[in-house]
């Protein structure tokens, strides 16, 4: 192995050359928006700006994204920054530092603002803006002239194709997407879309969809950008993208240096192929096995969450003190925690470790990272070691639906219109998600998941059905107990529904003006909680069932755990074979109006 060291050195040299060739931190300032309000104590404000900047830079250097805060009102600072997903870490840090310094220099003595660079974004405020609805939007159409008629027409078509593609792709790809396509022999169009990581999938899609409508007004100009509080969109005939797994860059002109690099790399690969073949094969097999077992979580973690140090969470929970305990379940304990930057969070400590139960942790992690929308507590990050598994969530004291729904007095604030809005709102959000966190919670678990841990696309539908029945009855399924039988809220609701006694299901304090609407919602809830996953409707169909008066509903089959019950038929329902899943036999209902 005399050649080993020279070979390694040469490969490192080639790798360095490639990185230098591709390096493009894209630190040109595109847009600036400064606050006009000034700080009461500029010295203190700048100190807090520096402190929060240090926290965010540390996170950005690991995740291409970070947010944090420092100080107390009125001179406190909340900061968020994010790099575009095709930037290498080194370029991201360069872009962040440029934006951070520029924001301070340009906006002082104002109390914050926004800076959009071509490769990153930063925002600073003196209040917590992380969950604010988007209001800021600004477009920049560039100055490049259009092309000849036919060529311009083709260019416009390709721009629209790429942007429409990115609107659909980006929310499903962790909030980032790029695409390139030839418009003519001489012209190629490049496009990039990104949503900020605190934006959920639904808001990401909405933001990009609106951005496309605005940016298309820039045509026939050959370059345009639009920036908002939730997303950033750009197209250009200039190849500004960094090569990445998300890019489809095809160039019609290859520089001489690229040929040299390709030939050099090809030679080294040919020389090393025999030595590396076995290692590559082994690595691929191991990677495939790791993915099956749920061990390789890097890509999952990088999309929607941050990694926390164990020591940070240990200190934040006062060493997991009993005084900080918020609640305890069969498989976890939840603690209230206060991070160094003053943020209050909830830390869920699982009783299973990453080392011993990696597959279960992967399943739960996959679920919570996919579920980010306005009706759910936000998942912030995690800490995974061989011995400890910690999930970090947004802490929202006294804002849970439970605090209203199951409180004897506060539930009276939720009339039927409000409850129906909650139900349809959750359904609308859930139709675009893969999973919701309640699907892994006791009382909301589907029977197939409880029995043997089966994961399928209908787990959430079952959980949604349970939630519907809870909202209507103000009774918690996991705590339901009429007598010493094994009845649950779901089984009892089904029996009353089959016996045409739906009033027994409804909260006694709830005033009902439209009984047909309530009955229809109960009917939908029972369809969602059927024992067989194949019989449960999709969330898209659930929305139609809730809102379309002419849509017939099939008779709900038995939910899980129903024993010794004489099934009764619903009145005014006729069906030749009620046992068939496709049988559409149901009474008509009038519109359910929120």
* pLDDT at residue 484 tops 70: no
- Check residue 2 and give its pLDDT: 38
- Check residue 152 and give its pLDDT: 86
CA angle 362, 363, 366 (to 5 degrees): 80
- The 10 Å Cβ neighbour count of residue 233 is 26
- Check residue 373 and give its pLDDT: 44
Which candidate, 494, 473, 485, 469, places its Cα nearest to that of 557?
Answer: 494
**pTM attached to this predicted model:** 0.43
Number of separate helices (H) and strands (E) present in the chain:
16, 16
Position 376 confidence tier, pLDDT thresholds 50, 70, 90: low
pLDDT tens digits, one per residue of 45-100? 999 999 999 999 999 998 899 999 998 888 899 999 999 988 999 899 999 999 99
Range of weakest confidence among 64-73, 103-112, 354-363: 354-363
Identify the residue whose tokens are 């997303």: 231
Which candidate, 393, 225, 390, 219, places its Cα nearest to that of 313?
Answer: 390
- Check residue 496 and give its pLDDT: 93
Cis peptide before 109 (omega within 30 of 0): yes
Bridge partners for 152 per DSSP: none
Return binding residues for ATP: 348
Q: How far lies 246's CA from each of 64, 207, 241, in Å? A: 16, 20, 10
Does 357 or 316 have the greater pLDDT score? 316
Which candidate, 322, 344, 333, 456, places its Cα nearest to that of 399?
Answer: 344
Q: Which range has the top average pLDDT, 257-271, 443-457, 521-535, 579-593? A: 521-535
- Check residue 194 and give its pLDDT: 95
| Strands ordered across the beta sheet of 176-182 | 137-140, 223-228, 231-236, 188-195, 176-182
Position 128 confidence tier, pLDDT thresholds 50, 70, 90: confident
* pLDDT at residue 572 tops 60: no
- Check residue 250 and give its pLDDT: 36
**Core vs surface per residue 123-132: b (16+ CB within 10 A) or e:** bbbbeebbee
- The 10 Å Cβ neighbour count of residue 440 is 20
Position 31 confidence tier, pLDDT thresholds 50, 70, 90: confident
* pLDDT at residue 181 tops 60: yes
Query: DSSP assignment of 563-589, as one string?
Result: -S----PPTT---S-TTSTT-------
* pLDDT at residue 578 tops 90: no
Identify the residue whose tokens are 């997407």: 177
pLDDT tens digits, one per residue of 489-500? 888 999 999 999
pLDDT tens digits, one per residue of 381-418? 888 877 788 888 877 654 556 667 778 888 888 889 88
- Check residue 362 and give its pLDDT: 64
The mean per-residue pLDDT over the stretch 443-467 comes to 65
Q: Kindly calculate the radius of gyration of the chain based on its CA atoms and give it in whole angstroms.
A: 28
Secondary structure element (H or E) that encloses residue 429, with its range: helix 416-430
Does 579 or 146 have the greater pLDDT score? 146
Range of weakest confidence among 30-44, 208-222, 417-431, 446-460: 446-460
Position 247 confidence tier, pLDDT thresholds 50, 70, 90: very low
Return binding residues: 348
- Check residue 159 and give its pLDDT: 94
Relative to beta strand 306-307, strand 325-328 is unpaired
Domains and CATH numbers, the chain: 9-125 (3.30.430.20), 137-236 (3.30.430.20), 256-293 (no CATH), 299-394 (3.30.200.20), 404-547 (1.10.510.10)
- Check residue 24 and give its pLDDT: 59
pLDDT tens digits, one per residue of 550-566? 889 999 988 875 444 43
Percent of the chain with pLDDT over 90: 27
- In three-state secondary structure terms, 234 is strand
* pLDDT at residue 445 tops 80: no
Angle between helices 201-215 and 149-169 (to 10 degrees): 170
DSSP 8-state secondary structure symbol assigned to residue 439: G
Does 101 or 434 have the greater pLDDT score? 101
- Check residue 19 and give its pLDDT: 40
- Check residue 191 and give its pLDDT: 94
The mean per-residue pLDDT over the stretch 450-472 comes to 74
- Check residue 557 and give its pLDDT: 87
The mean per-residue pLDDT over the stretch 247-265 comes to 44
Structure tokens at 65: 């994204």
The mean per-residue pLDDT over the stretch 347-370 comes to 64
* pLDDT at residue 226 tops 50: yes
* pLDDT at residue 441 tops 70: no
Distance separating alpha carbons of residues 208 and 177, to the nearest angstrom: 11
Distance separating alpha carbons of residues 47 and 71, to the nearest angstrom: 9
Query: DSSP assignment of 336-351, as one string?
Result: EEE-TTS-EEEEEEES
* pLDDT at residue 319 tops 70: yes
Structure tokens at 94: 């360069």
- Check residue 232 and give its pLDDT: 94
Position 143 confidence tier, pLDDT thresholds 50, 70, 90: low
The mean per-residue pLDDT over the stretch 478-505 comes to 78
Mean pLDDT of the chain: 74
- Check residue 468 and give its pLDDT: 93
């Amino acid at each position: 192995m005399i050649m080993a060291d020279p070979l390694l050195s040469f490969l490192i040299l080639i790798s360095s050359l490639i990185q230098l060739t591709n390096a493009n931190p894209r630190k040109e300032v595109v847009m600036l928006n400064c606050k006009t309000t000034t700080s009461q104590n500029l010295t203190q404000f700048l100190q807090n700006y520096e402190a929060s900047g240090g926290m965010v830079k540390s996170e950005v250097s690991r995740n291409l994204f970070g947010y944090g805060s420092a100080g107390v009102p009125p001179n406190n600072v909340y900061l968020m920054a994010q790099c575009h997903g095709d930037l290498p870490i080194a370029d991201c840090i360069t872009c962040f530092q440029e934006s951070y310094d520029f924001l301070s220099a340009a906006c002082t003595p104002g109390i914050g603002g926004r800076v959009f660079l071509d490769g990153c974004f930063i925002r600073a405020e003196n209040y917590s803006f992380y969950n604010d609805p988007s209001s800021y939007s600004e477009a920049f159409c560039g100055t490049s002239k259009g092309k000849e008629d036919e060529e311009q027409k083709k260019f416009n078509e390709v721009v629209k194709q790429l942007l429409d593609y990115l609107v659909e792709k980006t929310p499903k790809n962790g909030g980032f997407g790029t695409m390139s396509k030839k418009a003519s022999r001489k012209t190629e169009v490049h496009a990039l879309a990104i949503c900020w990581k605190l934006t959920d999938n639904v808001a990401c899609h909405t933001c990009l969809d609106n951005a496309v409508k605005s940016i298309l007004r820039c045509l026939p100009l050959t370059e345009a950008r639009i920036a908002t509080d939730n997303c950033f969109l750009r197209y250009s005939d200039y190849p500004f993208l960094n090569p990445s797994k998300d890019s489809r860059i095809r160039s019609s002109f290859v520089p001489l240096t690229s040929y040299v690099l390709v030939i050099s790399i090809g030679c080294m690969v040919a020389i090393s192929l025999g030595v590396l073949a076995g290692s590559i094969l082994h690595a691929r097999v191991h990677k495939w096995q790791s993915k099956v077992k749920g061990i390789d979580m890097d890509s999952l973690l990088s999309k929607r969450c941050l990694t926390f140090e164990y020591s940070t969470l240990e200190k934040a929970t006062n060493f997991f003190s009993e005084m900080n305990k918020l609640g305890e379940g069969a498989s976890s304990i939840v603690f209230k925690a206060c991070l160094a930057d003053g943020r209050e969070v909830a830390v869920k400590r699982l009783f299973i470790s990453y080392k011993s139960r990696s597959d279960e942790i992967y399943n739960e992690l996959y679920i919570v990272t996919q579920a980010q929308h306005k009706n759910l507590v936000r998942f912030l990050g995690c800490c995974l070691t061989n011995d400890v598994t910690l999930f970090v969530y947004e802490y929202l004291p006294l804002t849970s639906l439970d605090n209203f729904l199951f409180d004897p007095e506060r539930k009276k604030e939720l009339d039927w219109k409000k409850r129906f809005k909650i139900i349809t709102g959750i359904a609308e959000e859930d139709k675009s998600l893969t999973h919701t966190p309640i699907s892994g919670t006791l009382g909301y678990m589907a029977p197939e998941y409880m029995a043997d841990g089966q994961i399928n696309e209908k787990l959430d539908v079952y959980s949604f059905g349970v939630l519907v029945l809870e909202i209507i009855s103000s009774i918690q399924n996991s705590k339901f107990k009429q007598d010493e039988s094994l009845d649950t809220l779901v089984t009892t609701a089904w029996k009353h529904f089959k016996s045409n006694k739906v009033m027994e299901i409804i909260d006694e304090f709830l005033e009902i003006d439209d009984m047909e609407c309530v009955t229809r919602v109960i009917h939908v809830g029972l369809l969602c909680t059927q024992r067989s996953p194949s019989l449960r409707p999709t969330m898209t169909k659930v929305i139609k069932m809730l809102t379309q008066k002419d849509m017939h509903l099939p008779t709900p089959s038995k939910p899980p755990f129903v024993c010794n019950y004489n099934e009764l038929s619903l009145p005014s329902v006729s069906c030749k074979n009620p046992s068939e899943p496709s049988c559409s036999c149901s009474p008509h209902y009038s519109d359910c109006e929120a």
